[in-house]
Every structure is written in C-alpha cells, then in structure tokens.
Chain A
Amino acid sequence: MYQRKLEECLKRVQKPARYIGNEFNSIHKEWTSDKMSVAFCFPDVYEVGMSHLGMKILYHMLNEREDTICERVFAPWDDMEQEMRKERIPLLSMESAKPVRDFDMIAFTLQYEMSYSNIVNMLDLAGVPLRAAEREREDAFVYCGGPCAYHAEPLADIVDFLVLGEGEEMNSELMDVYKVWKDSGKPREEYLMEIAKIQGVYVPSFYDVTYHEDGTIKSFSPNREGIPQKVKKRIIKDMDNTYIPEKLIVPFMETVHDRIMLELFRGCIRGCRFCQAGYIYRPVRERSVEKLLEVAQNSINATGYEEMSMASLSTSDYTKLFPLTDGLLAMTVDKKINLSLPSLRVDNFSMELMEKVQKVKKSGLTFAPEAGTQRLRDVINKNVLEEDLMRTAKIAFQGGYNRIKLYFMLGLPTETDADVLGIGELAQKVIDAFYEIPKEERKGRSISVTVSTSFFVPKPFTPFQWEPQNKIADMEAKAKMLKDSITNNKIVYNWHNSDVSFLEEVFAKGDRRLGEVLITAQKLGCKFDGWTDFFDYDKWMEAFQIHGIDPAFYAHRRMDHNEILPWDYADIGVSKEFLIEEHERAYRGETTPSCRDACMGCGAAQFGGGVCFE
C-alpha cells in the first residue's frame, strides 16, 4: 500500500539502491495468518547493516522455520527519512514493504552505543510506542541482542527484553514461546514471564533499581518470583554443528564489507585488557578446517562474490591457519577471488602467510600495537614486542609492501607523556627499518606510515571497566602533543573525534536513568551519532540538561570494585573476581598469558566447551 509513495520518494533520494531489496538470495515468503513475523532491524544505514555477519546468520536461520517470516529493516538515511515523514510513510521492511509496526517481533542488533539514538528514531518512524510500558497486547515486542545487550541499561525502559549471547538457538526458542502465547489471549507480561525462563533472556521491567544519594546504585533485584538475579549468556558450544548461512544475500550496491565473511572461530585467546570482545565472547571455539572449506565452497557457489575474508577477532590465532589458507587458495585463485586476511597480529606474522594472501591482489598492511611504549603495552596486556613489529615490518618491506597503517589508543590507564610521544617514535622506527634494508632488497622506493589514534573508551566486562575516561580536553591535548611531535612527512597522523568517544562511554556505562535522555535526544534530532556529519554534541548536552543528568558521572568517575554496576544483570561467564585480578595485574605492569599458554581461571570454562577443554 506504501509501494507507490515509496517509489516516488526513491526518485528524490541519493543511493536509492539502499531501499529496493529484491537482492539475490533475499527471502520473500508468502504472508499468511498462521505465520509469525520478525522485523530484524539494524540501526544504521543499509550498507553498514548488510556488512554484519550476525544479522545474516539470524535472518537466514529464522527464515528456515516454516512458521516464521523474517524481513530486514535498516535506518533510512536522512534524505529518505525526511521524504518518508513528509509523505507519512512509516518505517517499512525491505522484503515486502510492510510497516514494521505490523510485525509480531521487532528485533534490533546492538553493535555499538552510538546507534541507540537510531533505535529510538526507527521506533518513532515505525509508529511503535517508544516505552515498553506504553505498548499494548497487539503491539510488537521490541527486543535487542548483540554485544551491547550485556550493558544496555540505557535501553531498559524502551525494550521489552534483551537477549544475551549468541542468538542462533535463542531466537528460535523465543518464536516457539510466541507461537503458544499469540492466540492464548494472555497479557504481554505472560509472554515475558515465559521467556524469562529461557537462558539468556533479560526482561528489564522485572527488576527494580534503587539509588544512593550520590547517584550510585543501592540495590538491583527481581521484583517477582522465579526471576534470576543474574542472566547467564548463551553460547554455541559446537561451532561445526550450528546454523551457518551459505546462500547469503548479495547486495546490488557496495556495502562496507562486501564479501564472504568466513567465521573461523568465536572468542579470542589473548585477553587484551581494553578489549570487550576478548571477554564477552569467551571461551574460544574454533570451527574445523573441513567445515570451513565446505562452507567457503558453498558460499562461493551461492553468492558469486569476488572476495572472501576470514572474519574472527584475531584470525592468525586460528590453530590450523596454514592448511585452511591452502585449502581456500585452491578454490579461489582460479576463480579470481581475492582472499583477504584481516586482524593480523604482529607476533606470528610470517612471510609465507603474507605471500599466500597476496597471491591474487596486494593491499596495504595494518597493525595495531595500541600503545606507544612497552610499559603501556604490558599494562593493557597487548603482548606485542617492538622487535616483533620491526621484524614484521622488514618482512613486509622485502615482500613489496610500502604502506603501513598503525593503530593506537590515547587515554589508556596509567598513560604518561612518554607513552603518547612513544607512538610517534615507534612510527619513526618503522620508517628507519625500511631504510635499513638494502635498496635492492626492498621493492618500494618510498615508505608511508599512517598513524591513527582513537580515544580509549573503558568498556563494561573488561578489567578497565572501573576506570574513568580521560576528560575531553585532556584527550585533545594528548592528540595535539602527539601531532606536534611528528615532523617526518612520511608519517600521516589521523585521530578520531573525542566528543563521540565521551558519549560512547556515557552510554556504555550508563544506567536506566538514561532512557529518557535518549528519547529526548531523538526528539531534538539526534541520530546517526556514529557519523560525523550528524553527531551533534550540543543537542546531546541539552538532552542531559533537560533531565538534570550529568553525563560526566558515568564517564569520568572512578568506580569502586564493590559498587553495584548497571550491567551486573549480565553473567558473561568471566567472573568479576577475575576482572578485578586483571585490573590489579595491569597496575603492576604484569602480563597475562593467552588461553592456550595457561589457564588463568577466568570462569568461562563453566560453559563446558572450546579452548578450556582443548
């Protein structure tokens, strides 16, 4: 019914291909009254959402169910949103252009905090009541999953429930319960009571929070019988025997990650202390080479993609990387398919591996030492030695690379001026290493090093979760100091906006009092906060002020180890005691071995699988 109006809008917007759907392998089911429907929403624009592996898995998996229709929804870009609001077109699904508010379930994936305003904006555009308490029996259930669901208290009053952990099994279980509830005539609360029994489901309205006078949490407890104090996450124990989509949707327009993404394993053995993913996805669970080769071959056949990447947190830690790359190259080279290897660690980089990946196409190399000095790298447990980086860089230069990107963070705990300046010095050493190689052995004539820094955002479920973030002015002073110290024009220095990092910290560590701030911010026009063209710091500050909330309380306050944290509702398997030990080890400058070198007893072994039992 909105098709005609929508089409006219498409003639007036940029990149209409964002909204057309009908891509190869998209699933178009017949709408019948016996089917349940899920609107799977990604709170960002199409080309970002279509790059996300998790969405692909759940979309195809839910559609495997005969009784369920799952359709995709993305945030319309500003030009399209304006057209839609003008023409009174509500938010629609891609596959059948059905209003999102008519679906049974509205699921959002939470990939980063800066998409929260888009969730509110999309609900508003859909015409769905913004607060869970305002929704009635016939309204859709709004829920969220993804990494931020472990600390999504700012969304507590907006969503009906959150799902913690890996969703392959959980999402299907939600549908099973819905099927029974749908025609039962029972109130919404009954459905929520029923799913609260499923491991991984957190229903925020079933918990009460009280606060101390200083604003910290006094108590957090279930407000009814049979609801657990903490919700344990879900994981897939056996990565070979779980749903892996192969008939992936092939977009018309270019997306951010426009390729087959082969997920080698989940989790990371390393335990870098700043990295949330390194803790929440524990324990590490690998797929077998046989399974991966089978998935790769089927995906190539079903999509026709010209590129495949190995997507995991630290790809080179895959235990059978060489047999796998050999197998993958055998099926890709003849077909002119590029194989790309992201997330390389400098300590186990080798010439052989480099030659393998550049067989088809050579690209620049990226490394992330994260900190400028060994002292600080030890604090953050980034076990990369300067010698490793230099050795790797030399191998790369001899192999013909002459563009190197280095990633760092500013504002890490215990950081001093020497650590900041160390970043520039390290970049200079990489350049020196290039000129140390005899001319005839290096293929490129010149070298360029790009240094990028982002500002550290202490995240929940890391040993640094209690740490305050640097103040905006301090972060900027550090970036300026580093910039001024770099005089070699072969080094290009980029840094990210600090206002966004501040807000990211506020919402990463925020509690449910921020829900109303979010709703107000959306009314003031906040959206696409991850995009510099849209991020409006002043509007956000206005929203905080309206509700009498000081954002610095969340970002700049050192939290006590004994404090009740807003994200204590989630049990990721890794214990708080372990995180405290790691926090203390960081201050002593002690490193922690990887999961494969020694078990430190983090708690993830309770899931009974993965690296803990290798």
Chain B
Amino acid sequence: MANITREEVQKISKLAKLRLTEKEAELYQAQFSKILDSMAELRQLDTEDVPPTTSVLGLSNVLREDSPAPFGEAEDLLANAPEREGPYYKVRKVIE
C-alpha cells in the first residue's frame, strides 16, 4: 500500500512549481495512493535482465551540423509574451 503523506504532496508540488489549493492537495493525496497502488503490480515482473525502452526506433544521438540560422519571425514569438520590453521578455527582479 503506497501511502502518500500530505508533506510529500507539498514537496512534489514545490518541485513541479504548481501552487495547489488545500482542497486539491487533499484530493491528490487520496488519489495518488490509489493510483500508485494500481501500479505496484509492475513489481511482480522480474526485469533484471530487460533493457529499458527509450526509443522504439532504436535511435540515439541524432546529430546535425551546428550551423546557426535566425528564426524567421522573432516578433511573432515575442508577441505572445504576457509582459515584454522591446525585444526582451520581462520578468520579476531576481537579483537584489
């Protein structure tokens, strides 16, 4: 039985940068224990000698020439910013 504590839920939400309401935290705590229980069945399987699948195509390290090229419409990208100043994204002050 996976028992997820409220502290764990708070810790995960901090890692995920998600602000949860008290009600959400309570709901997720209850649901996670159930969901993780349903996943415990995987432990029945011996996978000691089974390699993990990261790519079904067997691809790895697909490389290309590192040749920089300007993106066509920088203004279209910046136009989506909630806050900007000229050609820059604006964020809250991070250095005192």
- Asked if A and B are interacting partners, one says no
Chain B contact residues, CB within 8 Å of chain A: none
